[in-house]
Amino acid sequence: MERETWATRIGFILAAVGSAVGLGNIWRFPFQVGQNGGSAFLIMYLACVLLIGIPAILVEFVIGRRSQRNPIGAFHALGKSRFRAIGAVCVVTGFVILSYYTVVAGWVLRYIGGSATGAYFGSEEAYFLEIATGYDAVVLHAVFLAVTVGIVMLGIKRGIELAVKAMVPAIALLLAGLAVYALTLDGVVDGYRYYLSPDFATLAAEWTTILPAAVGQALFTLSLGMGVMITYASYVGEDQSLLVDSGSIALLDTVIAFLSGLILFPILFTIDATPGDGGAGEFFIGVGGAFADIPLGTIVGVVFFVTLAVAALSSAISILEVIVSYFIDEFGFDRRVATFGVGVIVFVAGIPAALDMGTFEVYDQVTGELLLPLGMFLLVLFVAWVVPEESLDELLKGRSGSNLDVFWLWWVRTVVTVAVGLTLVLSVYGFAVEFGLLAESA
C-alpha cells in the first residue's frame, strides 16, 4: 500500500503549526514568563527559538523526509538500526504526553461550560479541585481523546490536513480578537510594561535559571523531542525547502505565544493577580478568577477556552499520529484499527493522571523535563555525528544551495548540542534534588 503524503505544502506547514500551537503557547508560556522574570524570559525565549528551535526542527525534518518513516522505523530506513532505541524513547514519550495532555484538554472542555454558566465564578479554587480529578475528569479525557482519534482515523489528507486548515486560522483570529479586547482593560499598561519593557538586568543576574527554562519552553512549544516533526516531514515530497518551512513554523508559533501574553498579562493585572504562581491548576484558578471579574467575562471566558480546546486538539492529533504511524509502517496495520487501538491504550494510561493530581504532576514533569530534552539530545547527536552527510544532503534538496546549510551542521554540533545537553543535565540535577538523591546546594 502506498504511503500517504500531504496534499499541499501549506497543509504540511499548517499541520506542523497546529502541532506546535497548543496548551504550551496559551497556558504554559505565560506562566513560564511569570516564573522566570517577565520580559527577561521573553528575550531569552525569543533567542532560543531562533538559535536552537529552528535548527532543532531541521534535525527532525531531515530524519523524517530522508527516511519517509515513523521515528523508530526511520533508523532502519537510514541503515542505522542500532540506534532505534532513540526512536523508541520518542514513541514512549508520545504515549505518556498524550495520556495527560488529553486530561488537561478535558479540563478545558469543562471550563467552556463553566464559563458559560458562571459555575466557577466566586469559587474558582474549589471548582478546579472538584473537576480536575475523579469520574468527570476521566469522562472528559475520553471525550477529547475520542475526537482526536476520529480525526487521525481519517488519515493525513482527509483528516489531519483538512482539520488544521480550519483550526489554525481560527485560533489566530480568536486570539487576535481577544488581544484587541485586552486593550480595553484597566490592567493593560501595567501588563504590557511587565511583559514587554526589556529587562536586561534580571536577564544578566538570573540567566542560569532562565536559560534552561527558555530552552525547555522552546522545545515544548515547537513540539520537539518526540518525533512529531520527524513523522510530519515523512509525509513531505522532496520539492520543498525545509529551511524555509522551519522558519515559517517557528515564526507562526512564536506570534501565537506572543499574542497570548498580550491577552493574559492585561487580564491578570486588571484583577491584581500575580503572574507566575505556577502549576497547572493555578492557571485555571487565576484566569478563571479574572473572567469572573472583568467586563464581558462570561463571553470572553467561553471564547478563550474554546480557542484553547481547538489549539490542544491540533496538538493532540500530532502526538497520536506519531504512535499510529509506527503501527502502520512497521506492522502493516490498517489506519483505523491502529488509531482505535492506540486510542484505547492511551485512554487507559491517562486514567491514573485523571484520578490523582500527584500522579498527573509526575507525568508532566517526567515527560517535560526529562524525556523530551533526552529525546531531542539523542536526535541531535544522531544527526550531527552518525548521519551528518546524509542530513546535509537531505537539507540541500529542494534548495538552490547556500552556505547556510553547512553552517547549520556546524551550529547543531556546537551550540545546539551544548544548549540541549546543558538543559538535560540541569533537569536531571533538578530531579535528583527533588527526590532527595542529592542535597540541594545553597
Under rule CB under 6 A, how many of the chain's residues touch ligand TRP?
16
Contact map string, positions 359 to 378, toward ligand TRP, x by CB under 6 A: -------------x------
Task: Return the half-sphere exposure (C-beta side, CA atoms, 13 A cut-off) of residue 151.
Answer: 24
In this chain, which of 6, 14, 16, 25 binds ligand TRP, going by CB under 6 A?
Answer: 25
**Residue from 148, 307, 315, 427 binding ligand TRP (CB under 6 A):** 315
Amino acid at 247: G
- By beta-carbon proximity to ligand TRP, the closer residue of 101 and 327 is 101
Cα distance between residue 383 and residue 410, in whole Å: 11
Number of H helices, E strands in the chain: 22, 0
HSE on the CB side for 377, CA within 13 Å? Answer: 17
Cβ contact 330:72 at 8 Å: yes
Instruction: State the minimum distance, in angstroms, from the CB of residue 323 to ligand TRP.
Output: 11
Smallest distance from ligand TRP to CB 21, Å: 6
Please report how close the Cβ of residue 92 comes to ligand TRP at its closest, in angstroms: 12
174 touches 307 (CB < 8 A): yes
Residues 198-227 that bind ligand TRP (CB under 6 A): 220-221, 223, 225-226
| Cβ nearer to ligand TRP, comparing 203 with 424 | 424
User: Quick check: 228 binds ligand TRP (CB under 6 A)?
Assistant: yes
Q: How many residues does the chain have?
A: 442
Cβ proximity to ligand TRP: between 109 and 294 the closer is 109
Q: Which of 252, 319, 378, 383 binds ligand TRP (CB under 6 A)?
A: 319
Q: Which residue is nearest to ligand TRP (CB)?
A: 24
The nearer residue to ligand TRP, 22 or 159, going by C-beta atoms, is 22
Distance CA 18, CA 222 (A): 10
Question: Is there a contact between 115 and 309 (Cβ–Cβ < 8 Å)?
Answer: no
216 near 375, Cβ under 8 Å? no
As a whole number of angstroms, the distance between CA 377 and CA 225 comes to 8
- Which residues bind to ligand TRP, rule: CB under 6 A? 19-20, 22-25, 220-221, 223, 225-226, 228, 315, 318-319, 372
